[in-house]
Amino acid sequence: MAVERTLSIIKPDAVAKNVIGEIIARFEKAGLRVVAAKMQQLSREQAEGFYAEHKERPFFKDLVDFMTSGPVVVQVLEGENAIVQNRELMGATNPKEAAPGTIRADFAESIDANAVHGSDSAASAEREVAYFFAAEEVCARS
C-alpha cells in the first residue's frame, strides 16, 4: 500500500468543543502523522472555493455559513492508505449514521456541524492540500 497525504479539517463545532487534541489523537493512534497544520478563520471566499464542487447544492449556503462561523484547524495527514483511512476514522457524513467509535459518532452534532472534513479521493486530496499549503509548508515524516 502506498504512503498518501490527505487534507483534514477540524471544523468550527469541534474547535468550539475543545476536542482538537482528542481528534488528532485518533489520527495518531491509527498511524497517521500530521505533516502540516494551522488554525485559521476561513473567509467566505476561501470556504466557497474549497467546497466549490457543492456550489449548486441546496445546502451550500449553510455549509459556507457553518465553515466560517469560527476558527478551524487545517492539517495534512500522511500515512499508508491515508485518504481512505481518514474517511473511515471520520465516519459517515451524518453523525446519526456514523459507526460507533468514529469521530463523527463521538463528537458531531448534526449533518451540518459534523466535526471534521477529509479528502474523498486522491484527486481531491491533491487539490485540497495545495489549496491550503505551499509545498514547503508540508514536512515529510515517513
Query: Interface with Mg ion by CB under 5 A: which residues?
Result: 120
Choose from ligand RTP, Mg ion, none: what does 114 bind? Cβ within 5-8 Å by kind. ligand RTP
Cα dihedral 75, 78, 83, 87 sign? negative
For residue 37, state whether it binds ligand RTP (rule: CB under 6 A): no
For residue 118, state whether it binds ligand RTP (rule: CB under 6 A): yes
Q: What would you report as the CA-atom Rg of the chain, rounded to the nearest whole angstrom? A: 14
Residue 104 annotated as binding site: yes
Determine which one of 19, 82, 115, 117 is catalytic: 117
Nearest residue (CB) to Mg ion, 93 versus 139: 93
- How many beta carbons lie within 10 A of that of residue 31, not counting itself? 11
Residue 44 annotated as binding site: no
- How many beta carbons lie within 10 A of that of residue 106, not counting itself? 16
* CB-neighbour burial class of residue 120 (10 A; exposed 0-12, middle 13-18, buried 19+): middle
Helix (H) / strand (E) element for 130: namely helix 122-132
- Mark whether 54 is an active-site residue: no
Residue 26 annotated as binding site: no
Contacts with ligand RTP by CB under 6 A lie at 54, 59, 63, 93, 111-112, 114, 117-118, 120
State the catalytic residues.
Answer: 117
